[in-house]
């Protein structure tokens, strides 16, 4: 089950719109959590196994005058997700935004990819987003408003050798986005995806220099993206300015796939 970490400011404040960011402890999720806090949301952020990183994000948000709390939650564990919503969100927070950001890779060529590596990546990246969306939709439907934002990937749009599991999950996430958008529109809930290109985080830090250079060469803007580039797109979709946008995929990829 989830474990609450300390927070430096009152939490939750039921009247303040809340944003839940899965995998909000590091990388893109951290930038999203900080940016949504900047924009006035109290942030529930989850992490898998690195409490120190999560606490760092909470402390950064608190230092900037925002409210956040971190929870250990494996989004690949559906029962734990349901418990988390029941115990920490339902009736306690005004859930306005869900960002399905948690993701993992387990790369390998098709002929050598093990069933468990395929299943694990699908369980976290796709089923995790599905289960969080289902739980959030129950709450948002009652409020007749809400924003669900799924962090897909450019490779879910264009394919990528050596990532059959990850690409299948990210392409699935785009389908999930479009279906949920149609289903939840009647309740004034918008559902969109953001598809980042290659972004500077721990996930891409292990790339060999040669591979990194060839990726950068293929990007028209000639640089890797930054987590903040993605966070600002999410903040836009979470804002009132995006009220009439649903079922879309917003690419943040430096032009590498149009």
51 close to 104: Cβ distance less than 8 angstroms: no
Residue 150 CB neighbour total at 10 angstroms: 26
With contacts defined by CB under 6 A, name the span among 58-66, 80-88, 98-106, 243-251 that binds ligand NAP. Answer: 98-106
Q: What DSSP element (H or E) covers 119?
A: helix 115-122
Among 2, 5, 7, 22, which residue sits at the site for ligand NAP (rule: CB under 6 A)? 22
Joined together, the tokens standing for residue 180 give 């949920």
Among 121, 193, 199, 250, which residue sits at the site for ligand NAP (rule: CB under 6 A)? 199
Q: Is 17 in the site for ligand NAP (CB under 6 A)?
A: no
193 close to 245: Cβ distance less than 8 angstroms: no
Q: Is 153 in the site for ligand NAP (CB under 6 A)?
A: yes
With contacts defined by CB under 6 A, name the span among 2-10, 62-70, 96-104, 184-192 that binds ligand NAP. Answer: 96-104
Nearest residue to 99 via CA among 182, 13, 37, 9? 37
Among 9, 141, 145, 204, which residue sits at the site for ligand NAP (rule: CB under 6 A)? 204
Nearest distance from C-beta of residue 69 to ligand NAP, angstroms: 15
Among 43, 58, 81, 104, which residue sits at the site for ligand NAP (rule: CB under 6 A)? 104
Give the separation between CA 197 and CA 211, rounded to whole angstroms: 14
Q: Is 196 in the site for ligand NAP (CB under 6 A)?
A: yes
With contacts defined by CB under 6 A, name the span among 3-11, 25-33, 88-96, 140-148 that binds ligand NAP. Answer: 25-33
Nearest residue to 11 via CA among 67, 57, 76? 67
Complex with ligand NAP: residue 39 or 77, whichever CB lies closer: 77
Among 85, 118, 130, 198, which residue sits at the site for ligand NAP (rule: CB under 6 A)? 198
Q: Is 16 in the site for ligand NAP (CB under 6 A)?
A: no
Give whole-number Cα distances, 153 to 61, 101, 103, 139, 206, in Å.
26, 11, 10, 27, 18
- Which listed residue (166, 215, 244, 257) is catalytic? 166
Hunting for tokens 């032009």 — which residue is that? 255
Nearest distance from C-beta of residue 48 to ligand NAP, angstroms: 3
Give whole-number Cα distances, 203 to 25, 90, 91, 219, in Å.
13, 32, 35, 18
Q: Is 172 in the site for ligand NAP (CB under 6 A)?
A: no
Residues 219-238 that bind ligand NAP (CB under 6 A): none
166 given a catalytic annotation = yes
Give the separation between CA 1 and CA 145, rounded to whole angstroms: 28
Q: Are strands 68-72 and 42-47 parallel, antiparallel or unpaired?
A: parallel
Active site members: 166
List contacts with ligand NAP (CB under 6 A): 22-23, 25-29, 46-50, 53, 73-76, 101-104, 124, 151, 153, 196, 198-199, 201-204
């Amino acid at each position: 089950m989830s474990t609450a970490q300390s927070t430096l400011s009152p939490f939750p404040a039921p009247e303040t719109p809340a944003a839940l960011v899965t995998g909000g402890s590091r990388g893109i999720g951290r930038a999203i959590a900080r940016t949504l806090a900047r924009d006035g949301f109290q942030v529930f952020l989850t992490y898998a196994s690195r409490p120190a990183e999560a606490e760092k994000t909470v402390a950064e948000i608190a230092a900037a005058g925002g409210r956040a709390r971190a929870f250990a939650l494996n989004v690949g564990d559906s029962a734990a997700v349901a418990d988390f919503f029941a115990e920490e969100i339902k009736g306690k927070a005004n859930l306005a935004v869900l960002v399905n950001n948690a993701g993992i890779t387990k790369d390998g060529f098709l002929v050598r990819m093990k069933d468990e590596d395929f299943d694990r990546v699908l369980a976290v990246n796709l089923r995790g987003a599905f289960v969080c969306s289902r739980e959030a939709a129950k709450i948002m439907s009652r409020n007749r408003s809400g924003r669900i934002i799924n962090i897909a990937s450019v490779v879910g749009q264009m394919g990528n050798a050596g990532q059959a599991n990850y690409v299948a999950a990210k392409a699935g996430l785009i389908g999930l986005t479009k279906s949920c958008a149609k289903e939840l529109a009647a309740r004034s809930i918008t559902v969109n995806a953001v598809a980042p290109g290659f972004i500077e985080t721990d996930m891409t830090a292990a790339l060999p220099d040669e591979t990194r250079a060839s990726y950068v060469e293929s990007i028209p803007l000639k640089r890797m993206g930054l987590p903040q580039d993605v966070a600002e797109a999410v903040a836009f979709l979470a804002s009132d300015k995006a009220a009439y946008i649903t079922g879309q995929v917003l690419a943040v990829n430096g032009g590498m796939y149009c």
